[in-house]
A and B are shown apart, each in its own frame.
Chain A
Amino acid sequence: MSALIKEPASTERLCPRDEADVVEAVRWAVSNGRTLDVAGSRSKAGLGRHIQTDATLELAALSGVTLYEPEELVLSARAGTPIAEITALVAASHQMMAFEPMDYGPLFGQPAGGGTLGGLIACNLAGPRRPSAGAARDHALGLRAVSGRAEAFKAGGRVVKNVTGYDLPRGLAGSHGTLAAFTELTIKVLPRPETVETLLILGLDEAQAASAMSAAMGSYYDVSGSAHLPADIAALVPAVAGAGRAVTALRLEGVKPSILHRRGKLEEMLRARGELSFLNEAASLTFWQAVRDVEPFAATVTSPRGGEVGAGTAPGEGFSSATSPSPPPLTVGERENILDTAPAIWRVSVAPMAGADVVAALRPLGARAFYDWAGGLVWIALPDGTPRSAEVRAAVAATGGGHATLVRASLAARAEEVFQPLDPVTKALVTRMKDGFDPARVLSPGRMYAGV
């Protein structure tokens, strides 16, 4: 549609109170040829391609946990339920969303702790525990949603094991609101580990780190997070800045006797590779949050109304966290101005051993990077707002394949391809899926791919 050439920043806000309202809103859009930007609390509005729509469909008012049965490991909540509310609720029963949802707040210069369940699933976010526990999609059990046909439908169920019909909850995870607007989701929740510690190897280069992380992940010792921070990045993370060197971190979670046993075994295994150090529970929690939320690349911004937003990027600056007082959020315009000039950020997913090769190819462009998922998830910052897409995609392709997603860049850059470009056959397939679910192109058209 013509959504891309309308006035900037949609002003019309539709705030449905229930699923019937969502159906009405979509019906209105379809009947009148209008487009809707499907959103929760807009905490991740910066993700995906930049689009202009006639209105924003804000689902934040569809809020509240509708079912939580800790012993069944399931939770259902309306799509607009704050992630923070769910995290706190399940924590009281010693449970968690095991995929460790990442928080894009710091990266986008917004307060941490925002976001809704619907947005989390729509963006299929996951954190350092992804390799061992799965992504958001692996925990999406059921949903209710409204498609671009202005029809409410359900898929999946509310039990943890279900193969009845197509796995739409999984398939719609990661659809960024382009196929349907979620109204209610059921997810799997899991017990929280009793405690956590982190084994550090100091001073490895990136190839050595990949090898060490591979050995650890391929060991008996249940490593639930493995990240590598080159020295310049480690210096930005308070929990490990004191090391003064590159840091390779291996997380151990579970019951205390098990952690002690595993740590001992891993120390034996890895001692020859470099000097070992260790983070206790408190330091581990802040360290893995910094990795999860890409705090080293957080937008340093000064709000025109005073007060710093987000975390620092220079050594020695403080870090934002969910507990620090949050200044008033920036307006959309203010934020976009900031992100226009901030370093472009890429999220690259490749085979774990290939991460360092991607970064090596981009170093000449001034890339700074660090690694999660044993090397397979690479966060790359390029020196200014220029995304250098061709070079990044070529570096990923050279490793044998993977995905590069431009997660922070100027509006102009985000009007181009943001997700990994699809081959023509897959693009046609995805277009036919859009035809099926949203034939009139009313739901966030173009958010993922032009014309879809």
Chain B
Amino acid sequence: MSGLVMPAPKAEVMARRAEIIADLRAIVPGEGVIDAINEMRPFESDGVTAYRQLPLAVVLPSTTEQVSQVLAYANANGIPVVPRGAGTSLSGGALPLADGILLGMGKFNRILDIDFANRTVVAQPGVTNLGITTAVAHEGFYYAPDPSSQIACTIGGNVGENSGGVHCLKYGLTTNNVLGVEMVLISGEIVRIGGKHLDSGGLDLLGLIVGSEGLLGVVTEVTVRILKKPETARAVLVGFPSSEAAGACVAAIIAAGIIPGGMEMMDKMMVHAAEAFLGAGYPLDVEALLIVELDGPEAEVNHLIERVAQIAGGLGCQTLRASTSEEERIAFWAGRKAAFPAVGRISPDYLCMDGTIPRKALPEVLRRMEAMSEKYGLKCGNVFHAGDGNLHPLICYDANTPGELDKAEAFGADILLLCVEVGGVLTGEHGVGVEKRDLMPSMFNEIDLAHQQRLKCAFDPEALLNPGKVFPVLHRCAELGRMHVSGGKLPFPDIPRF
């Protein structure tokens, strides 16, 4: 990989590898510790395959007690720990460290409690996202966040990354659907936060833990809320002659008080790629295609479909089709869901970016991305969670062409900086990880980042959990803890002050 710099491996840890592995085997016996290079290979990268690193050892615990002992051991011996779920991260969040333990949570794969009366599920972190829905589907329930990796990704990883999906405008991200966790701190101490009830009266530690990218602790149990699957879902496929018109339609739908279950936009390149890939029946003469899905009670869905059709018609859409059967609705989505493999067919490699922008900035962002595409000489298609402004540009490149990965990465960084420039953010749902780590200063100044790191220090003072992720520079906690405040005169002598 190009310019990525990870924390330098600690020589004293590397030198003790054999001893450390023996100690870990005493904690996690049998096949729970992997140290053979060929067996560690599958763990050397996550969904961002451009970055690879073999860990010191892979440890696969199966009980909370083992996790606790492994972390306490790592803490006592200054060994970094990188937690990993299914390894589907799109930001390099589970990239191992040469001197670090890769802590795979895959053996935590049991659902512990299903409570339909309270509408909750308690699952171990290695249960897949879809596994939760599958476990409750017979009663018509489901777990709402649906990242596109939901077949493989785990609920523990979802908690780490605060994963989203196409339905999160209406149903929220992971953070809005998690009620509690059991978590092991780097000290080995076990804390339980939340439960089957809503909202602690006190500090919202749960809100900080969700999306903390494995830097604060290792989650060993998750309580989520489940929802009744909507009675009906119908989708409308709307084609527009320009992305501006499609964007205006999205704004008008929301301004009309409608929050669709999903609202996706694809640009012309993506429409053509998807159509070539599986013949979804998308119109090919449009510049932008919207999929608007309404879900809920049947009467409501039918009523809202009418209104969406009116709005789209009033804004000059070229084509409009509402699904009339479940098969047709699924067909509308099939092209969108196959967007990534479809691009994989027309380009040897691609980078998937993940910025969020205020939706009104879409035309400007698309225009400037086109200019960047020309500048870098790389094609770029766009799929867009249009309702919440989450943009996924797919940059096409060929890793076998020297220098092209570097160009693609520079292009991607330019896109994310553009997102920030127009009032958006670096990542909407994939996380910072290593991929966007060095761009953090474009959003946050040193004081902002220092305050975030002080939170990290409260959980992990020696910075042993997932170091090298999220923060471009990891300051020592002792340094961050010092306070320099000068002054001291009350500069406002009148009452009320100021």
Residues of B within 8 A of A135 (CB): 198-199
Contact of B356 with A by CB under 8 A: yes
Tell me the minimal C-beta distance from B252 to chain A in angstroms.
Answer: 8
Contact of A238 with B by CB under 8 A: no
Query: Do the beta carbons of B297 and A61 come within 8 Å of each other?
Result: no
Interface size on B, residues (CB 8 A): 110
Question: Which A residue's beta carbon lies closest to that of B389?
Answer: A159
Query: Do the beta carbons of B486 and A24 come within 8 Å of each other?
Result: no
Which of B24-32, B74-82, B161-169 forms part of the interface with chain A?
B161-169
Interface residue from A61, A257, A426, A435 paired with B299 (Cβ < 8 Å): A257
Contact of A130 with B by CB under 8 A: yes
Given contacts A14-B492, A257-B300, A422-B202, contact A162 B175 (CB under 8 A): no
Interface residues of B in 411-462 (CB under 8 A from A): 423-432, 436, 440, 443-444, 447-452, 454-459, 461
Interface residues of B in 442-493 (CB under 8 A from A): 443-444, 447-452, 454-459, 461, 470, 480-481, 483, 485-492
Query: Do the beta carbons of B458 and A165 come within 8 Å of each other?
Result: no
Query: Do the beta carbons of A349 and B359 come within 8 Å of each other?
Result: no
Tell me the minimal C-beta distance from A221 to chain B in angstroms.
Answer: 6
Best-surrounded residue of B304, B385, B458 (most CB of chain A within 10 A): B458
Query: Do the beta carbons of A258 and B297 come within 8 Å of each other?
Result: yes
Contact of A387 with B by CB under 8 A: no
Residues of B within 8 A of A24 (CB): 487, 491-492
Question: Which A residue's beta carbon lies closest to that of B304?
Answer: A255
Which of B37-45, B115-123, B332-340 forms part of the interface with chain A?
B115-123
Interface residue from B205, B356, B428 paired with A426 (Cβ < 8 Å): B205
Contact of A232 with B by CB under 8 A: no
Residues of A within 8 A of B461 (CB): 432
Contact of A25 with B by CB under 8 A: yes
CA distance A365 to B395 in the complex (A): 67
Interface residue from B191, B212, B229 paired with A429 (Cβ < 8 Å): B191
Query: Do the beta carbons of B457 and A436 come within 8 Å of each other?
Result: yes
Query: Do the beta carbons of A171 and B205 come within 8 Å of each other?
Result: yes
B176-211 vs A, Cβ < 8 Å mask (1 yes, 0 no)? 100000000100011111011111111111011011
CA distance A439 to B451 in the complex (A): 12
Query: Do the beta carbons of B485 and A72 come within 8 Å of each other?
Result: no
Contact of B303 with A by CB under 8 A: yes
Interface residue from A13, A131, A158, A174 paired with B198 (Cβ < 8 Å): A131
Question: Which B residue's beta carbon lies closest to that of A95?
Answer: B257
A-B contact pairs, 26 of them (CB 8 A): A13-B497, A27-B485, A28-B488, A32-B488, A69-B360, A126-B199, A130-B199, A149-B485, A150-B485, A151-B451, A161-B356, A161-B429, A163-B428, A165-B432, A175-B204, A191-B259, A214-B117, A258-B299, A260-B299, A262-B299, A265-B297, A351-B115, A402-B195, A422-B202, A425-B189, A436-B455
- Chain A residues engaging chain B, CB cutoff 8 angstroms: 12-17, 21, 24-25, 27-28, 30-32, 55, 58, 61, 69-74, 93-94, 124, 126, 130-131, 134-135, 137-138, 147, 149-155, 157-168, 170-171, 173-175, 190-192, 194, 211, 214, 217-222, 254-255, 257-258, 260-262, 265, 347, 349-354, 373, 376-377, 400-405, 419-420, 422-423, 425-426, 429-430, 432-433, 435-437, 439-440, 448-449
- Chain B residues engaging chain A, CB cutoff 8 angstroms: 115-120, 140-141, 161-162, 164, 168-169, 172-173, 175-176, 185, 189-193, 195-205, 207-208, 210-212, 228-231, 251-252, 254-259, 296-300, 303-304, 356-360, 385, 388-390, 423-432, 436, 440, 443-444, 447-452, 454-459, 461, 470, 480-481, 483, 485-492, 495-498
